[in-house]
Structure 1
Amino acid sequence: MQYYKKDKDKLVCLLCSYYCKLKTNQIGICGVNKNTGDKIECLVYGHISALNIDPIEKKPLYHFLPKSKSLSLGTVGCNFKCPFCQNYGISQEKNIDKSKYYSPKDIVNIALQYNCDSISYTYNEPTIFYPYAKDIAIEAKKHGIKNVYVSNGFESKEVIDDMVGIIDAVNIDLKCFNDKYYKKELGGNLNQVLENLKHFKKNGIWLEITTLIVPTKNDTYEELEKIAKFIKDELDIYTPWHLSSFHPDYKDLDLPRTSLETLKMAKKIGEDNGLKYVYIGNVPYENSTFCPNCNEVIIKRNRFEVLQNSIKNQHCPKCLYKIQGVYPKMKTIRKTGFAGSFYPQEKEEILKYIDEFNKQITINGSFDTRAMIVPHAGYVYSGFTANIAYNICKDKKPKRVIVIGPSHSMYYEGASIALYDEYETPFGNINIDKEYSNNLKDKYNFLSFDDNMHLEHSTETQAPFIKHYFANTQIVEIVYGKMPFEDLSSLIDEVLEDKENLLLISTDLSHFYTQEEANKLDNICLNAIEKKDMSLFDNGCEACGKLGVKALIYSAIKKDMKTKVLHYCTSFNKTKDASKVVGYTSALIGY
């Protein structure tokens, strides 16, 4: 979205419901968005004032990824002026510390480093730095990280609509049910906050509500019941309502703490009005989640710590009642099918192979590798040959490795791309780049997803090498059947364009000829690769993955890439049986 619109000689800021009309060089009520002449600039973009890792329950969100970690951040500035704000040191601050800059990628990398399942925009009012939050959120989505807003609920309608698909959950402060108190002491207005709550709900963004109960300000039975009735009538009875205990802070230092009796009264009001999930916070008190149907404890908490989480696939384990919220999805995994046969099942055994392989090789020269040709037989036969290519590229840090291999188990028209969440290996699972994979599937009509195609050793034998040598990469697996090599080459062209990719083409060479015959046939394939001679692929070259190799060389010719054959051998090296051998090679393609 564009964060402003023109109004004669002014620009209207579209971030919050104040819709500040700003002259050139004028700053909005929030103190951080400025009309610079041709646009509204978010002055705090990249300049955070607070950064912490919190349990998601601290937001508070009780029905959103329970027991997960959230990277929480805020800037200076706010569009409200709450006299009890516990973060007034940043929310009411106008001076921006620009000594450090955190790009959206920097923030996401921190979240990844500390295994955070979400990023929370909090501490001050996040709608005033929505341009920054949105860019972080979009980057986070690429890595499966969700995004959370902890807000006063005074967003503009434009921002709430723009949040769809970007922000996954919000906790909104419904501070009272008194418009006069809102306007005079807090900021904004009650009716707009109520409309925004309905807007969030309509847009399908997971919503939880917090009311800080401030003695003498919003703690009457009548006012609390109005809030409960609004939640029930205008939202739904499954919207969690958090009742938070006030403590003296900022300007409200002369007010007492909220009594436990008042909190219990408010909880009873919510429950008497039919609300299914009402919680007391900021005090030592039972705040577990109970099944609304059978009253079973399904999430047991001690303040922000989850002691027990019994939810199974979003349902009560006892009566199977659906528990509303956003819960971790069961990850789909591309399971191993050949561990224990083509390669060892145990990590330590594979490492022994690799250590022994590496003792026998000497690497000379440099090569800007964009793609590799590697064999896929059992490690005892072809592992040494494959390992040479991986070892040469060990210092590369690809964002993703695309491995393409032929189907050995079933006939298939076109190719299948794996759309699981993770790829299992003895070294630990590799994340599958589902966004990249889906983009390829949508773009190339020969690509689909067939689960049966991914019980395939030509690609699976590469996975332990990938995890060992490129520990932080993601993987994309493509298994092809019958198709024109030109089609596959068009996809390879795109893969090679991205310098963050490393492409693997999996193939063995001739099968079950004598050693002498195999050497002759395989030499044709080696020449086709090294000399980039397309005619040789149809003039004696035999390989189970010939289509993939042919497509790669065709792309290499178009891109004027170099090729380098690294190693060639046959199964004779291991079996000493020259009567029926299989050939193997590894090669590099790049600049």
Structure 2
Amino acid sequence: MTRAGAKSILGATLHARPAAVAGIFYTDDALQLAREIGDYLDASGAAEATARPPKLLVVPHAGYGYSGAVAGRAYALLAPWHQRIRRVVLLGPAHRMPVRGLAAPVAEAFDTPLGRVMLDRDALTALQALPQVAHDDRPHAHEHSLEVQLPFLQAVLESFTLAPLLIGDAGPGEVAQVLERLWGGEETLVVISSDLSHYLPYAQAQRCDRSTVERILAFDGTLTGGDACGALALNGALRSAARHGLRPRLLDLRNSGDTAGSRDQVVGYASIAFETSAP
């Protein structure tokens, strides 16, 4: 290694973002990580036979002990399409640093204990003309909302490039405009990383999260941060999903009181697939 996150390849220096939350949100041991993800996927059962791959997934981003099983329900759907999906557009909220609009990384790759994920630099460069998109590695450096999705994607897809974007203060139209630039065909999967309510008592969280999910399934793009921490990404994604005629399907809805935590104050998690209608 020539420096942290950089590796010299045939005389060129490749700038990679190192894993920031390995050992915190998920194990930093590659073999154990692969086993745990395999267990989450196996527990989801065999994916239903569908005519087309899912186009958009909503998945949670807490520590794997809390939300890994819920995320696994969504990622298990990708198994039959592991060769067809070759690009992932990944959106999530910026928790660690304020962002105006959307932040695309300058890095060329993201690293996890399972290896290196190359970024789709052509796709990210195509966003440079949009005023709401900044190109800045700083918001990505310590952010978990995108990183925790990568080992799942590495486990289920054969080979893919990544277009990761952090959402800050962005309207649904601004997010939807970016998604339209990157929408592609069946080779492109859109993943929205979001938890639901935060730190409510168990029964109250169940009511709130069920209401939020019903609004998502109805393409209600007026979610707030109290509904879901990824509300701004979700609102834009719902606009694009409606425009393209996608059909939503709830896969799992739980909270940390169901998985690994106290029921005094819980965080809500859902996995939802948006699928293209068969021709």
The TM-score normalised by the length of structure 2 is 0.89
Q: Which has the higher contact order (CA 8 A, sep 6+)?
A: 2
- Counterpart of 1:453 in 2: which secondary structure? helix
The correspondence of residues 54-453 of structure 1 with structure 2, limited to 5 A, is 328-362=11-45, 363-366=47-50, 368-396=53-81, 397-440=84-127, 442-453=128-139
1:586 is aligned to 271
Choose from 250, 263, 269 the match for 1:565. Answer: 250
Contact 1:399 1:474 in 2 (8 A): yes
Deviations 1:433-468 (A, max 9, x none): 11221112x232111122211121000001111111
Higher mean C-alpha displacement, 377-386 vs 350-359? 350-359
Contact 2:175 2:233 in 1 (8 A): yes
Deviations 1:159-205 (A, max 9, x none): xxxxxxxxxxxxxxxxxxxxxxxxxxxxxxxxxxxxxxxxxxxxxxx
**For residues 343 and 429 of structure 1, what CA distance do their matches in structure 2 show?**
16
Choose from 221, 227, 241 the match for 1:556. Answer: 241
Letter paired with 2:67: S
Higher mean C-alpha displacement, 416-425 vs 363-372? 363-372
Deviations 1:509-542 (A, max 9, x none): 000000111111111211112122335x26x961
**For residues 525 and 345 of structure 1, what CA distance do their matches in structure 2 show?**
33
Structure 1 residue 576 displacement after superposition: 5.0
Give the alignment's Cα RMSD to 1 decimal: 2.1
**For residues 202 and 148 of structure 2, what CA distance do their matches in structure 1 show?**
24
Higher mean C-alpha displacement, 401-410 vs 570-579? 570-579
Structure 1 residue 412 displacement after superposition: 1.5
**For residues 359 and 432 of structure 1, what CA distance do their matches in structure 2 show?**
28
Structure 1 residue 365 displacement after superposition: 4.7
- Counterpart of 1:345 in 2: which secondary structure? coil
Contact 2:123 2:182 in 1 (8 A): no
2:195 is aligned to 508
The correspondence of residues 527-538 of structure 1 with structure 2, limited to 5 A, is 527-534=214-221, 537=223
- Counterpart of 1:391 in 2: which secondary structure? helix
**For residues 343 and 523 of structure 1, what CA distance do their matches in structure 2 show?**
27
Deviations 1:133-156 (A, max 9, x none): xxxxxxxxxxxxxxxxxxxxxxxx
Contact 1:374 1:507 in 2 (8 A): yes
Structure 1 residues not aligned, in runs of 5+? 1-311, 314-325
Letter paired with 2:170: M
Letter paired with 2:209: D
Contact 2:44 2:72 in 1 (8 A): no
After the TM superposition, which segments of 4 or more aligned residues of structure 1 sit over 4 Å from their partners? none
Deviations 1:75-94 (A, max 9, x none): xxxxxxxxxxxxxxxxxxxx
Contact 1:572 1:581 in 2 (8 A): yes
**For residues 479 and 576 of structure 1, what CA distance do their matches in structure 2 show?**
27
Distance 1:576 1:477, change over 3 A: closer
**For residues 261 and 105 of structure 2, what CA distance do their matches in structure 1 show?**
38
Count of residues in Structure 1 that have an aligned counterpart in Structure 2 = 265
The percent identity for this pair of structures is 25
**For residues 512 and 458 of structure 1, what CA distance do their matches in structure 2 show?**
18
Contact 1:521 1:541 in 2 (8 A): no
The TM-score normalised by the length of structure 1 is 0.43
**For residues 566 and 361 of structure 1, what CA distance do their matches in structure 2 show?**
10
Contact 1:529 1:565 in 2 (8 A): no
Contact 1:524 1:541 in 2 (8 A): no
- Counterpart of 1:476 in 2: which secondary structure? strand
**For residues 497 and 436 of structure 1, what CA distance do their matches in structure 2 show?**
10
Structure 1 residue 575 displacement after superposition: 3.4
Distance 1:334 1:386, change over 3 A: same
1:498 aligns with 2:185: yes
- Counterpart of 1:402 in 2: which secondary structure? strand
2:6 is aligned to none
Deviations 1:313-356 (A, max 9, x none): 9xxxxxxxxxxxx9622110011100000011011111221232
1:18 is aligned to none
Letter paired with 2:180: D
